[in-house]
Structure 1
Amino acid sequence: MMDWDFHEKAVWVTGAGSGIGCAVAHRFQQLGARVIGLDVEVKNVDGEFPLRQLNIADPYQVGATVRELLRENLGPDILVNAAGALRLGSVDASDFHPLSIDDWHKCLDVNVSGVFYLLRHLTAHFKQQRRGAIVNVASNAARVPRKNMAAYCASKAALQSLSHCTALELAEYGVRCNLVSPGSTDTPMLRGMLADHTGDASVGYQRTIEGLPGEYKLGIPLKKIASVNEIANTVLFLASDAASHITMQNIVVDGGATLAA
């Protein structure tokens, strides 16, 4: 499709070292974009796109990296914020598995503050070029409460609000900002959360699909866990010219798990 031709487009993807971010970066690369991946850990990504080390939770490192890339004339036409952190624990400090203060800050620092740090250094760039698309990867957990996931849910809800405010500020400059909110997706993060003592996550996946009534969590009507490419395709749609009149929106990609909540 011509609307999905990203030739000559510069694309930055955070969290590009693995999971959804990696899949997004690969799809853009396949469709002709000049991709720069950003991740806290630099690892082998088959050499298809450059991966630069960046801890988006560090505002000073974010500022330095953005300034360096802009000096190299590598400013983005498209920015995808896919980096994420998940920490589990109860808000009750006396609970057997309490959410620590460090874990609370980790979720907020990566999932929402890191996006803010990037945006505060890139909005002038987007305004000046008077075009561009920003896609932030949130979660369906921002829409429904989850036991032992207060930090994650709160951070993704904050990201949703930040995205909408950014979209409103940039609209008059022709820059769009939207969200993709995945549900349970086959990523290292989910496998780590649901794996048993042998590292096998298959039983956890099946329970997630069927639903967890004791945790007030509905199942997945489409009866499957999402693949990273299914999430990536939605990101690419929102970044493409096919979505040229879409901004300030949130597409939930969770197989119906939130029942249109």
Structure 2
Amino acid sequence: MADGVMHGEVVLVSGAASGIGAAVVQRLRAEGARVAALDRQPVDGADASAQADLRAGEAVAQAVGQLVSALGPVTSLVHCAGVCPAGGTLDDDDALWLDTYSVNVLGALRLMRQVVPGMRARRHGAVVLVSSINARFATPTLAAYAASKAALEEMARTAALEFAPDNVRVNVIAPASVDTPMLQASFARADDPDAARARNVQRHPLGRLGTPGDAAELALFLVSPRSGWITGGTFPLDGGAGVTRR
């Protein structure tokens, strides 16, 4: 809609093909933004899309260049892409940990390197990084994932301080269990997927899993002018799970 809160903005969304990323694309476009979608898979429903693996810096640079050529300078970034391998602290070798960090932490950094300098030059921009409740709690079955999300949050705090003089804001969304293909895959690995899902729901005092739409609403707020005096924050999106962690 032409009069939406994001009218005139160009937002780059990573991990845009499914889950939270796909919902963010739809919500931002509904509020008037032009959305540049990035994923390893084809993306439908965006104003422009490109494919790249976040592990490859050159591929990321080329993809972002294509998107900027199509839509103009990026004014906001919402980084939703991520990987979530299962395993405890000693269960996996260096390769898995390095790969997890390459996507979840360096992937965000590679995107910021491409778009934040332009935001700083224009003195206008917002970055939202999707983390996880697991960055704050011991997570024996997802050790590499949890550690990478904790690193992502610390990088966001540092970036927020560095970019603030140029009016570029950086914030983090920290979801608990959002009903996405990634979460569904974790249930599928259990001996009894239905029971695993039921146990997970019980960990959330509000009595349900989150939806991609829940995350999209928070992402919209954090990139919009409505949050213009907010930076360096990590915002739980957890149905109360962070209060009790039961």
| TM-score of the two chains, using structure 2 as the length reference | 0.92
Identity rate of aligned residues, in percent?
A: 34
Q: Which residue of 2 aligns with 1:238?
A: 222
Amino acid at match of 1:151: A
Q: Say which of 210, 216, 222 aligns to 1:226.
A: 210
Aligned length: 244
Amino acid at match of 1:141: N
Q: Distance in 2 between matches of 1:123 and 1:194?
A: 37
Give yes or no for the alignment of 1:209 onto 2:207: no
| 1:80 Cα deviation from its structure 2 partner | 0.4
Q: Distance in 1 between matches of 2:180 and 2:102?
A: 21
The verdict on how the C-alpha distance between 1:110 and 1:3 changes in structure 2, with shifts beyond 3 A counting, is farther
Deviates more, 1:75-84 or 1:102-111: 102-111
Q: Say which of 56, 59, 77 aligns to 2:57.
A: 59
Q: Which residue of 1 aligns with 2:117?
A: 124
Q: Which residue of 2 aligns with 1:133?
A: 126
Secondary structure of the residue aligned to 2:36 is: strand
Q: Which residue of 2 aligns with 1:84?
A: 82
Residue pairs, 1:242-253, within 5 angstroms: 242-253=226-237
Q: Which residue of 2 aligns with 1:213?
A: none
Kept after mapping to 1: 8 A contact 2:123/2:167: yes
Q: Which residue of 1 aligns with 2:8?
A: 8
Residue pairs, 1:1-261, within 5 angstroms: 5-43=5-43, 45=44, 47-71=45-69, 74-92=72-90, 98-195=91-188, 201-210=193-202, 219-259=203-243
The verdict on how the C-alpha distance between 1:260 and 1:49 changes in structure 2, with shifts beyond 3 A counting, is farther
| 1:42 Cα deviation from its structure 2 partner | 1.5
| TM-score of the two chains, using structure 1 as the length reference | 0.87
Which runs of 5 or more structure 1 residues have no equivalent in the other structure? 93-97, 211-218
| 1:126 Cα deviation from its structure 2 partner | 1.0
Secondary structure of the residue aligned to 2:105 is: helix
Amino acid at match of 1:15: G
Amino acid at match of 1:226: G
Q: Distance in 2 between matches of 1:206 and 1:165?
A: 38
Q: Distance in 2 between matches of 1:65 and 1:197?
A: 37
Q: Distance in 1 between matches of 2:126 and 2:136?
A: 23
| 1:7 Cα deviation from its structure 2 partner | 1.3
Amino acid at match of 1:84: G
| 1:197 Cα deviation from its structure 2 partner | 7.6
Q: Distance in 1 between matches of 2:244 and 2:157?
A: 19
Q: Distance in 1 between matches of 2:209 and 2:166?
A: 38
The verdict on how the C-alpha distance between 1:3 and 1:22 changes in structure 2, with shifts beyond 3 A counting, is same
Amino acid at match of 2:95: D
CA RMSD in angstroms comes to 2.2
Q: Distance in 2 between matches of 1:4 and 1:225?
A: 29
Secondary structure of the residue aligned to 2:242 is: coil
Q: Which residue of 2 aligns with 1:95?
A: none
